[in-house]
Amino acid sequence: MDLCTLTAVKEVLGIKGGQVEYDSRLQAILSAVSSDMEKYLCRGVEFKERTQLFDVLGTRFFQLKAFGCEAHPIIVTSVRNDPQWEFDSASEVADDYYRISNETGVLRFLRGVLTEGDYALEAKYRGGMGLDAGDIERSDEFKGLAEACAVQTAFQFRADKAIGATAVSTQGGSVSVVGDVGFLTSVKKTLNLHKLRSI
């Protein structure tokens, strides 16, 4: 999922809404930048159904990969513990045995005994930053990420005309890229504010 809209990128570039000649190139760059940013953040962006498995090895804290904001709090469907991985037939862990922090995405067990094992805990939940790019742009918590994505996309669009660029074909068309340009300093600072920290 993209972290900002094509309209936001065009505004940064000063391209009027009716001008569409660069749209396919811009969209390809926007999707690539959004994907790179999501990987850097180490957390899920799109608010959707997720299943995550955890090793249970002496800990009571587990980090969900997708967590959101006030508008999109984490919604747990089920938590099951089974070292044999037969989660469909395993009993659900009662929700009063654990708490989830929406701010950090940490699933913390308050009581009860977890059976240890590799991938012995399954959490099914809905989590993420937003339903779509517009949702992220309107979000108080994440609009800075949307702005950073628009700036980075605009920067890479301008850089693709540089000498020595390599052509890359994608579903949305082809673009030229100048090696690994990396994130702009201001973009990286914004990303670091939202990057998943390990527990």
DSSP 37-103: HHHHHTS--B-EEEEEEEEESS-SEEE-S----SSS--EEEEEEE-TT--TTTSPBPPGGGEEE-TT
Q: What's 152's DSSP letter?
A: H
User: Per-residue pLDDT averaged across 57-64, rounded?
Assistant: 93
Task: Please report the pLDDT score of residue 15 as a whole number.
Answer: 93
Q: Backbone phi, then psi, for 49, in 5-degree steps? A: -65, 135
- Comparison of pLDDT for 17 and 162, the residue scoring more: 17
Q: Is the pLDDT of residue 80 over 90?
A: yes
**Does residue 176 carry a pLDDT above 60?**
no
Would you say residue 19 has pLDDT above 70? yes
Count of structural domains within the chain: 2
pLDDT band at 123, cuts 50/70/90? very high
Domain assignment of residue 18, yes or no = yes
Inside any domain, residue 68: yes
Position 86 scores a pLDDT of 96
Residue 199 belongs to some domain of the structure: no
Asked if residue 1 is part of any domain, the answer here is no
Residue where a domain stops, chosen among 109, 127, 145: 127
Same domain, 116 and 65: yes
The predicted-structure confidence for 92-109, as pLDDT tens digits, reads as follows: 999 999 999 988 999 999
Question: Do 184 and 86 have their domain in common?
Answer: no
Average pLDDT of the residues of the chain: 90
Higher pLDDT, 78 or 17: 78
User: Which residue segment(s) compose the domain that 151 sits in?
Assistant: 6-44+131-194
d(CA 107, CA 62): 5
Residue-level pLDDT at 143:
94
DSSP per-residue letters across 116-134 = PEEEEEEEEEEE-SBSSHH
Q: Report whether pLDDT(180) > 90.
A: no
User: 120 and 104, same structural domain?
Assistant: yes
Whether 174 shows a pLDDT value over 80: the answer reads no
Q: Is there a domain that residue 154 lies in?
A: yes
Q: Do 10 and 35 have their domain in common?
A: yes
Residues 120, 69, single domain; the answer is yes
Domain boundary among 127, 142, 159: 127
Judge contact between 192 and 150, C-beta under 8 A.
no
**Whole-prediction pTM value?**
0.84
Cα 149 to the chain's mean position, in Å? Answer: 12
Of the residues 127, 150, 176, which one is the last residue of a structural domain? 127
Do 141 and 170 belong to one domain? yes
